Structure formats: structure tokens, C-alpha cells
Amino acid sequence: MNVDCHYVFRALLGAPSECGDAGIVKIDHDRCFLGLVDVLGHGKRAYDVACFAQDYLDRHWTDDLVRLMRGLHEHLRGTLGAVAAFCRLDSSTGELAHVGIGNITVRMLGPRAFKMVSRDGVIGYRIPSVKEEKRIFYPSDILVMHSDGIREHFNILDCPGLLSGNAETIAKGILEKFGKQDDDASCIAMRLAS
């Protein structure tokens, strides 16, 4: 299975690239890793912490998801803190694993719509025990991860035809249509390429 993924973001303050959200997409053979981090606050300080988090994820993304979340928690101690969600798809089996701390929304869209469950907490301050959730990702499914800079409860029916596009079109469409104007915002979309 070929995986189509795309990450988009919009900064609230400062330069367009200075977003307090950080996204990572890594594809290696039949594994696809998606990570989204939303640092508390905005502007240059949040951007610096987001870069710090992204550096950690770039070096450790192949780790077990629970270990990765615990490691990020230790890595971000003494910073502004953050929330995050990670997903890993094994495209050879369709198994999708997820871990999340805080209010990163992770939704499956399509015939089997479903919302993944994240645990409350702030990475770098206090997190509960980290739990991994697994589901099967079917060819007709679309995974969307987004920060709280995008409305949590949007109705995809408000964007007719959006889900028929590729991952880039979906991620950009969600950010444009449902992004808030008072926060950094980011979105990752994943679907299987036809």
C-alpha cells in the first residue's frame, strides 16, 4: 500500500514559519509515522520549544510510541510544555497505533468515522501513564490529526468533495475552512494513495 501524507501549519504571531506547532511525517518501507506537537503559548518562545520537540522526534521516531511519548516528556521538562499525538501505520497489515496526551484531535474519516482517545496532561510537566490504542486502517479511511488551532467539532459535510482529494488537499482544506484566527494551527492528513 502506498501512503499519502501531508502536514500544513499556520503561525499566529511573528514570521510565517514561527509556529508553536510542530509536525513530523516519516515513511520507511511499510511503516508510516505521524507526530503532531502543540506547544503551550504562541510566538518565538513557543516556536523554539516546537523546534526542540521536533529535533527529538526526528532522532527517535522509530521508538515504540509509548517510549517515544515518555521520552518527549523528559526532553521537554523545564520548557513551556506541550500536548502531542503520535500515530504509526503498518501498511502491510493495516494496523494503526496511536498515543496522545492533551488536546490534539485524531480522527478517522470515511465510512468508519472514529475519534482516537488522548489522555489529559501536559508534556514536560505532568502526564498520566501512556496507553497505546490500535485500530485497523482500511483503504477507504482518512486519518486527520490537528491542533486546537482548528475547531475540534467540525462537520466534514461542510466541505463537499474535500475527502476525494489527496492528503495535501485535505490538510490544506481543513486548515483553511476550520482554522481559528486566535491560535497557531496545524493539520496532518493521511490516506492510502490510489
Q: What top-level class would CATH report for the domain 3-192?
A: alpha beta
Q: What is the C-alpha to C-alpha distance for residues 12 and 69, in angstroms, rounded to an integer?
A: 26
Residue 156 has pLDDT above 80, yes or no: no
Residue 81 has pLDDT above 90, yes or no: yes
Residue 10 has pLDDT above 80, yes or no: yes
Q: What is the pTM assigned to this prediction? A: 0.94
Q: Which of 5, 133, 8, 115 is nearest to 69 (CA)?
A: 133
pLDDT recorded at residue 84 = 98
Residue 160 has pLDDT above 80, yes or no: no
C-alpha cell at position 186: 496545524
For the segment 32-72, what is each residue's pLDDT rounded down to a tens digit?
999 999 999 888 999 999 999 999 999 999 999 999 999 99
User: How is the beta sheet containing 142-146 ordered, strand by strand?
Assistant: 3-10, 185-192, 142-146, 105-109, 114-115
How would residue 8 be classed by pLDDT, with cut points 50, 70 and 90? very high
Residue 2 has pLDDT above 70, yes or no: yes
Q: Give the lowest-confidence range in 73-77, 84-88, 158-162.
A: 158-162
pLDDT recorded at residue 1 = 59
Residue 194 has pLDDT above 70, yes or no: no
Q: Are 1 and 51 in contact (CB under 8 A)?
A: no
pLDDT > 70 fraction of the chain, expressed in percent and rounded: 97
pLDDT recorded at residue 109 = 86
